[in-house]
Structure 1
Amino acid sequence: MKIVEKQFNIKEVALKKEDCNFGELFRVMDKTDHTGFILLSEVAACNLGGCHQYSEIKKTYASEFFDLLVITDLEMNIKHLKILNYFSEFGYQVTSKKYLKKFTGKNVCDFLDDTDEIDIVSGATISSYALEGKLAQLCNY
């Protein structure tokens, strides 16, 4: 909760769970005012056994995952992004703090049409695309 208090500069944070089919989504409330969102989600990075293109990742297959925390403001601009757990042997470069800082201030809708101007991180192409795909899902909320 401290990170939420810090991001929104509020002392008493209340979370209200929202209906969401792509993770656990919460409204961040300051007493009665809605100030932003928090998404906790599992992201499918690659099918077990390997994959060569992001389009090949299907939920029906066993996949390698990573856990994601995203904090946004009301307009869905990213305030904080963190990969909580990364389980795969490959693509771990996506967890780099330097890479993840590039997302701060970006609107999640920028990831729908690739107008985000963030380059895919070398060595983690599939994980980078998976991360951007998950962020784009927030745009439709």
Structure 2
Amino acid sequence: MKKILLLLSWLLVSTGTFADKGIDFASKPFIRAIEKEDLNGVSDLEELQFSDDVPTENIHGKFFQTRDENRQSPVRYAYVGRVNSCRTGGCAAPGNITGEIGYEYFDYFILFDARGSILQTKVFNYQATHGQEITARGWLKQFDGYSGKNDLRVGHGIDAISGATISVYAITRDVKEKTQMLQQWLRTSISQK
């Protein structure tokens, strides 16, 4: 009987039954945010397809664009994704995330206008032990208006938060990368028209 229970336990763990959930691309906070912007939920969005010119190896999420450009909404693009941030003492070097025990994560979204400037950023699923302060709307407003043209650095335009250092650097780096990716996609799609 013990062998059967051990085997069942091993099967449950090895098949990922207890593993972290994937990203919820239709989370309630995301749906509410896009509905406030005169969009009818996820049905008004379609996944953005990147050409080979845009490196996509760092995408832990999805980009979307609005289906109907005639709407009054300023939102034209959205990104919903996950940021892996190192546990305190869990990663040897910044950006070097190794093994499942080496990181914690949070899921967030960014709403962009037609020019690829940030309208809103929101963390909707925070699964880390420290750094909850980055979920505050007041702190996240620092990203509003960012378009990839100026530098985005902690301590220079982005406030550091004591006790949330790892999360602050992780989301700042990810917002910068995703905005630059969208900007590159926009330049490529405009030049192809």
TM-score class, shorter? 0.7 to 0.9
Aligned partner of 1:103 in structure 2 is 143
Could you tell me which of 71, 92, 95 is aligned with 1:57? 95
Q: For 2:49, give the aligned amino acid.
A: D
Aligned partner of 1:27 in structure 2 is 65
Higher RCO (CA 8 Å, separation ≥ 6 residues): 1
- Counterparts in 2 of 1:11 and 1:44: CA distance versus 1, 3 Å: closer
* Residue 2 of structure 1: how far off its partner (Å): 4.1
Could you tell me which of 93, 112, 127 is aligned with 1:72? 112
- Counterparts in 2 of 1:10 and 1:24: CA distance versus 1, 3 Å: closer
- Counterparts in 2 of 1:42 and 1:129: CA distance versus 1, 3 Å: same
Aligned partner of 1:140 in structure 2 is 181
Could you tell me which of 141, 150, 153 is aligned with 1:114? 153
CA offsets 1:58-78 (integer angstroms, 9 cap, x no match): 244321110011111122211
2-structure distance, mates of 1:51, 1:76: 32
| Greater helix share, structure number | 2
Q: For 2:33, give the aligned amino acid.
A: I
SS of 2:158's partner is coil
Percent of matched pairs sharing the same residue: 26
2-structure distance, mates of 1:105, 1:97: 14
Gaps of 5+ in 1: none
- Would the aligned equivalents of 1:14 and 1:28 in 2 still touch at CA under 8 Å? yes
1-structure distance, mates of 2:138, 2:86: 23
1-structure distance, mates of 2:162, 2:88: 20
- Would the aligned equivalents of 2:109 and 2:123 in 1 still touch at CA under 8 Å? yes
Could you tell me which of 87, 90, 94 is aligned with 2:134? 94
* Residue 51 of structure 1: how far off its partner (Å): 4.5
Q: TM-score, normalised by structure 1?
A: 0.77
The yes-or-no answer on 1:38 pairing with 2:68 is no
Over aligned residue pairs, what C-alpha RMSD do you find?
3.0
- Would the aligned equivalents of 1:108 and 1:135 in 2 still touch at CA under 8 Å? no
Question: How many residues of Structure 1 are paired with residues of Structure 2 in the alignment?
Answer: 137
SS of 2:96's partner is coil
| Greater strand share, structure number | 1
- Would the aligned equivalents of 1:44 and 1:57 in 2 still touch at CA under 8 Å? no
- Would the aligned equivalents of 1:110 and 1:136 in 2 still touch at CA under 8 Å? no
2-structure distance, mates of 1:57, 1:29: 35
Larger Rg computed on CA atoms: 2
The yes-or-no answer on 1:18 pairing with 2:48 is yes
Q: For 1:6, give the aligned amino acid.
A: K
Q: For 1:104, give the aligned amino acid.
A: D
2-structure distance, mates of 1:18, 1:51: 32
